[in-house]
């Protein structure tokens, strides 16, 4: 089977059209991002109270809201994006926290991803220390290689949440699938990640502009811009994943993925 060409711009256009047809996703983005920021605010507020018990409660509440809302956002945006890419309508009950049926697998996947990045950082730190002692003039090389390795891990796992929700792959198999995608679609993934990074910078620039015009307005404007940008960003990723899905489904090396949608 010939390789499918990854079209990041086409995925973005599909995402924009889908979001305009289903503004419910903006309401979900507002609720999920608001809950996420509330968790951060509760955790930060714990540093301002004198009571140790209250501080502990605020810390626990903040961590719970922060982590829970993160999983909720990832699963909700991914489900909505997969639906939009297939031309399906989404409903609020499908995005509610009660419908987060993949939370456990997503948590395990994120822990594995964090462990992989921590491993890269550890190896880089050891090699950098040795280079600093033995070859000080080349001490920057291990750090650069480590950054490139970390970037490769992140890029290869760009479709990780999609694979978690759309297949029955677990653990190392998810990473293998990501590595396979990076090997066969590296240039397309790099272009897609460049576009996503540019999209993510937009709220920061808007917030800086607002802060320059009115002092103190920057954080609020940045958060409001994120409400719009996050759905566009995540549904662009899912749209790109759906482009590659037929290839993943029919490639002999990936038939064990057992795609859920193929059984419906």
pLDDT by residue for the chain (264 residues), tens digit each? 456 788 899 999 988 988 888 888 999 999 999 999 999 889 888 888 877 788 889 889 999 999 999 999 999 999 999 988 888 888 888 888 877 788 889 999 999 999 999 999 999 999 999 888 888 888 889 899 999 999 999 999 999 999 999 988 888 888 889 899 999 999 999 999 999 999 999 999 999 999 999 988 999 999 999 999 999 999 999 999 999 988 887 654 554 556 664 443
- Cβ count near 35 (within 10 Å): 17
Specify the pTM. 0.88
Give pLDDT, residue 174: 87
Contact 51, 32 (CB under 8 A): no
Give pLDDT, residue 132: 87
Q: Which of 260, 182, 184, 199 is nearest to 235 (CA)?
A: 199
Give pLDDT, residue 136: 82
Contact 64, 103 (CB under 8 A): no
Give pLDDT, residue 255: 47
Retrieve residue 180's tokens: 């396979």
Give pLDDT, residue 257: 56
Retrieve residue 204's tokens: 């920061």
């Amino acid at each position: 089977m010939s390789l499918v060409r990854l079209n990041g711009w086409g995925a973005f256009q599909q995402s924009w059209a889908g979001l305009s047809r289903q503004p419910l996703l903006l309401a979900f983005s507002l609720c999920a991002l608001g809950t996420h920021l509330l968790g951060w605010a509760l955790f930060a507020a714990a540093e301002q109270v004198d009571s140790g018990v209250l501080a502990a409660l605020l810390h626990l509440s903040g961590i719970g809201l922060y982590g829970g809302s993160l999983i909720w956002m990832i699963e909700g945006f991914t489900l909505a994006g997969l639906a939009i890419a297939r031309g399906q309508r989404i409903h609020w009950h499908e995005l509610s926290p009660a419908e987060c049926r993949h939370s456990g697998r997503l948590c395990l996947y994120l822990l594995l991803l964090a462990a992989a990045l921590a491993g890269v950082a550890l190896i880089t730190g050891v090699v950098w220390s040795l280079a600093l002692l033995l070859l000080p003039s080349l001490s920057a090389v291990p750090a650069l290689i480590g950054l490139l390795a970390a970037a490769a891990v992140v890029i290869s796992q760009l479709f990780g949440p999609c694979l978690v929700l759309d297949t029955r792959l677990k653990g190392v198999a998810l990473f293998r699938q990501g590595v396979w995608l990076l090997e066969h679609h590296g240039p397309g993934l790099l272009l897609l990640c460049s576009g996503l990074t540019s999209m993510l910078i937009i709220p920061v620039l808007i917030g800086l502009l607002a802060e320059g015009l009115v002092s103190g307005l920057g954080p609020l404007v940045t958060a409001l811009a994120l409400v719009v940008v996050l759905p566009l960003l995540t549904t662009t990723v899912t749209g790109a994943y759906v482009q590659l899905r037929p290839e993943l489904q029919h490639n002999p090396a990936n038939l064990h993925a057992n795609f859920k949608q193929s059984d419906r």
